């Protein structure tokens, strides 16, 4: 799919700000500082559409980006940042849960993991939640440029084993080199058609 337009639409601090437009939502989740903003910019071939920060825990809102006026990329708050108060973490958790529960247009949730590290307890909890939720999801391994090719392959296999998934379900990427972006788009192209069909069926049934 060619990205003809990509625009930031809005940020939601609570459920009153959630976008209800019935087009596919593709959600990007992960720990703070896993590289979500960098991945989104690389995926869309935009330098500063999604704002990156050197300070983990900066994304505290649900951010919507409209792509080709056909679907949304949705960046949800990062989790697992220790320097954020427990109260603030719980607030973010409720915001994420509310968004995922209140949005019937979600196509796929992409969970980002840093390829250099084993999945954390928070990562594992998120994976179990995704499995229980029934949402389609894929794992994206970020920052592969920080490792040699052989080490990256080893880590891909090791992480797949740890989370009980097929190696092919983990997409290895680097926002610096652009590797893996075609693999994400190949998956997105099919997911877009599937989600659009499901939304149309929901409209016809209502």
Residue whose C-alpha is closest to residue 179's, from 141, 206, 150: 141
Domain ranges of the chain: 6-191
- Kindly list the distances between the CA atom of residue 122 and the CA atoms of 23, 130, 142, in Å, as whole numbers in the listed order: 30, 12, 17
- Cα–Cα distance for residue pair 105/115, rounded to 1 Å: 29
pLDDT of residue 89: 64
Q: Which CATH number fits domain 6-191: 3.40.1080.10, 3.40.50.300, 1.10.8.420, 3.30.565.10?
A: 3.40.50.300
Instruction: Determine the pLDDT at residue 91.
Output: 73
For 25, 33, 43, 45, 156, the CA distances from 67, given in Å and listed in that order, are 10, 24, 11, 12, 29
pLDDT at position 33: 87
Phi, psi of 12 (to 5 degrees): -115, 130
Task: Express each pLDDT in 8-65 by its tens digit.
Answer: 999 998 899 999 999 999 999 998 889 999 999 999 998 888 775 544 444 578 999 9
Separation between Cα atoms, residue 25 and residue 41, nearest integer Å:
17
SS (H, E, C) 61-115: CEEEEEECCCEEEEECCCECCCCCCHHHHHHHHHHHHHHHHHCCCEEEEEEEEEC
Q: Whole-angstrom Cα distance, residue 195 to residue 107?
A: 5
Report DSSP state, residue 168.
G
3-state secondary structure of 139: strand
pLDDT of residue 52: 59
pLDDT value, residue 1: 81
Query: In this predicted structure, what is the pLDDT of residue 180?
Result: 97
Q: Which residues of the chain have pLDDT under 50?
A: 54-58, 82
Residue 154, pLDDT score: 97
Cβ-based burial of 29 (10 A; exposed 0-12, middle 13-18, buried ≥19): buried
**All residues at 6 or more sequence positions from 187 whose CB lies less than 8 Å from its CB, including other chains:** 108, 138, 171
Query: What does the pLDDT read at residue 162?
Result: 97
Phi-psi region of 174 (alpha: psi -120 to 50; beta: other; left: phi over 0): beta
């Amino acid at each position: 799919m060619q990205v003809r337009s990509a625009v930031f639409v809005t940020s939601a601090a609570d459920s009153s700000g959630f976008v209800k437009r019935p087009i596919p939502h593709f959600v990007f989740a992960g720990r703070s500082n896993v590289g979500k903003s960098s991945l989104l910019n690389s995926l869309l071939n935009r330098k500063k559409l999604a704002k990156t920060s050197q300070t983990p825990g900066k994304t505290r809102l649900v951010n919507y980006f409209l792509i080709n006026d056909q679907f949304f990329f949705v960046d949800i708050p990062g989790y697992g940042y220790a320097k954020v108060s427990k109260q603030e973490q719980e607030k973010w958790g409720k915001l994420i849960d509310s968004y995922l529960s209140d949005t019937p247009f979600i196509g796929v949730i992409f969970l980002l993991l840093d390829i250099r590290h084993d999945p954390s307890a928070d990562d594992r909890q998120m994976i179990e939640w995704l499995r229980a939720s029934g949402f389609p999801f894929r794992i994206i391994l970020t920052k592969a440029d920080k490792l040699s090719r052989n080490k990256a392959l080893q880590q891909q296999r090791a992480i797949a084993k740890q989370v009980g998934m097929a190696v092919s379900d983990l997409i290895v990427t680097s926002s610096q080199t652009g590797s893996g972006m075609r693999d994400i788009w190949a998956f997105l192209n099919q997911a877009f058609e599937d989600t659009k069909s499901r939304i149309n069926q929901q409209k016809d049934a209502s």
